[in-house]
């Protein structure tokens, strides 16, 4: 397989300086214990898009929500080779494959999250609910389309339902 090269289209600017999960000693560690997942709060971030992409944001302000794909740039090299982790770094949850989690420790630390678009100011998008660390490279942005991305009859393992219940998501 040939090498894939990605170019960031911009970067994240916010007050989150440390990740809430850190790849350490072959598992995840809850690095910043004081941080709850920011998608459950009113955390506001800016997506600063490279101005060389003239016209790339035209029409985006007509959407209420966006999908943001970003690179978890603070994941240490050890995290790129992890194949199994305890979700959220919690040892009370089962050890599962990385692809069964939303962990930032993965072969390619590409993360995705749906956020609320608050406003556009030129090449800057103010969004709510982004869990990225300040300086994270933005790889892509897509409009959130509920009929396209939402699915019915979703099955989750008990441990994931427990996490979502604890953070008030389900």
Looking at residue 135, its pLDDT comes to 98
- HSE-up of residue 106 (Cα within 13 Å, Cβ side): 16
pLDDT at 134 over 60: yes
DSSP secondary structure, 112-146, as one string: EEEEEEEEEETTEEEEES--PPTTPEEEEEEE--H
What is the DSSP secondary structure assignment for residue 168, as one 8-state letter?
Answer: T
SS3 27: strand
pLDDT mean over 81-103:
92
Looking at residue 160, its pLDDT comes to 92
In tens, the pLDDT along 3-45 reads: 999 999 999 999 999 888 888 778 888 765 554 444 445 689 9
Looking at residue 166, its pLDDT comes to 87
Q: Of residues 81 and 170, which shows the higher confidence score?
A: 81
Looking at residue 40, its pLDDT comes to 43
Domains and CATH numbers, the chain: 10-166 (2.40.30.70)
pTM here is 0.88
Average pLDDT, the chain: 89
Q: Measured between alpha carbons, how far is 74 from 140 in angstroms, rounded to an integer?
A: 18
CA nearest 129: which of 110, 142, 152, 112?
112
> In whole angstroms, how far apart are CA 156 and each of 100, 105, 121, 160?
10, 21, 39, 6
Q: Residue 159 CB: number of other CB atoms within 10 A?
A: 18
CA nearest 71: which of 20, 135, 14?
135
Q: pLDDT band at 150, cuts 50/70/90?
A: confident
In tens, the pLDDT along 153-169 reads: 999 999 999 988 888 77
């Amino acid at each position: 397989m040939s090498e894939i090269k990605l170019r960031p289209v911009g970067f994240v600017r916010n007050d989150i300086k440390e990740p809430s999960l850190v790849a350490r000693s072959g598992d995840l560690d809850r690095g910043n214990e004081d941080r709850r997942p920011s998608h459950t709060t009113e955390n506001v971030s800016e997506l600063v898009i490279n101005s060389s992409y003239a016209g790339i944001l035209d029409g985006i302000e007509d959407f209420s929500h966006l999908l943001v794909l970003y690179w978890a740039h603070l994941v240490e090299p050890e995290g790129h080779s992890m194949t199994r982790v305890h979700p959220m770094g919690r040892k009370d949850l089962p050890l599962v494959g990385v692809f069964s989690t939303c962990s930032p420790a993965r072969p390619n630390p590409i993360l995705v999250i749906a956020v609320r678009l608050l406003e556009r100011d030129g090449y800057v998008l103010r969004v709510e609910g982004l869990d990225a660390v300040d300086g994270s490279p933005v790889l892509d942005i897509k409009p959130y389309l509920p009929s396209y991305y939402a699915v019915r009859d979703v099955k989750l393992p008990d441990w994931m339902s427990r996490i979502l219940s604890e953070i008030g998501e389900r």
